[in-house]
Amino acid sequence: MLALNSVASVKATPENGVYLLDCNITDRDGFTYDCEYCSRPEDMFGLNPTIREWLVENEGSYQVVPYVPPTVEEMRATFPLLTSRQFWLAAANIGVTKALVASTIEALDVSDVEKATLMVELMESTTFERLHYAVVDLANALNIPAQQLDDLWMWGSAL
């Protein structure tokens, strides 16, 4: 019952011969839907042999969209959430304490409402996102370079 019904696009990946196909398939249960299918040359299971055959038989009738590596911001968007514990332990590793954060926020040239909001975002959060504006603003205020914060973030995620 497995069937490849149509292919909308073929995208290259960083791995030679590995493609991401936007396609419409029918699965073993008879359900038909659109999906992204990762096809590897050595995969001989499921729908992949049919897809590899389609790639050969239809060569020239489709364009392979070149692989474009993710931007730094796109990579940062995939960073894991840190728990409050992980965030503050990582911060402590570079000498950043809650007291320092509070005094840094208090010294910012922003409204009292913005200061209060930053305090809540940084002191009361149970999880932290790498690209959250409060994290980015704090790093800027403390002159922590983005790459250092990235490295610290990934280190902190393992705590």
pLDDT tens, residue by residue, 66-104: 999 999 999 999 999 999 999 999 999 999 999 999 999
On whether the CB atoms of residues 97 and 91 are closer than 8 A, the answer is yes
Helix (H) or strand (E) holding 82: strand 82-83
State the CB neighbour count (10 A cutoff) for residue 114.
13
Output phi, psi for 114, to 5 deg: -65, -40
Q: What ranges do the domains of the chain cover?
A: 3-65, 72-157
The rounded mean pLDDT for the chain is 97
pLDDT, tens digit, for every residue of 10-39? 999 999 999 999 999 999 999 999 999 999
Structure tokens belonging to residue 137 = 């603003």
Is the Cα dihedral 117, 122, 128, 134 positive or negative?
Answer: positive
Kindly state the tokens that stand for 66: 């070149």
SS3 2: coil
Extended beta strands in 3-66, E state: 3-12, 19-26, 32-39, 64-65
The pLDDT of residue 1 is 81
